[in-house]
Amino acid sequence: MKLNVGGQIYYSTRSTLSKSLYIKSLLSNDRPNHIIDGAIFIDRDGHLFEFVLSFMRTNIMSHATDYLRIIAGMKFYQLEQFMVQIKDNADVDENKTKLRNKIKFFD
């Protein structure tokens, strides 16, 4: 399936895209009015969608510099069911950082 998100073109399968309740609702319409030039058009940040789509494909949050924007994107695409996993991963990373800061190295 072809998507145009904020002017950036993406391709993915229906099953991957259907993980987003928002996109799934767009796909369920018989004649969606959001089709432009053969692509489902979503008026959102195209760069951000790269991270959202990657997560939908792999269930792994890639290292991104703008965590809060990604969380906002996940909420928009109605992927709240995965938010717990993202938070758990963030907590693990935070705990690793705390642990590393507590470890003292001896020569």
pLDDT reading at 103 higher than 90 = no
For the whole model, what pTM was predicted? 0.63
Average pLDDT of the segment spanning 4-26: 93
Pick the more confident residue, 38 or 99: 38
Give the Å distances, CA to CA, from 69 to 14, 24, 45, 52, 84.
Answer: 25, 21, 10, 10, 16
Report the pLDDT value the prediction gives residue 34, as an integer from 0 to 100.
Answer: 82
Write the pLDDT tens digit of every residue in 28-81. 876 567 888 889 999 999 988 988 898 889 877 666 556 677 777 888 888 877
Pick the more confident residue, 53 or 102: 53
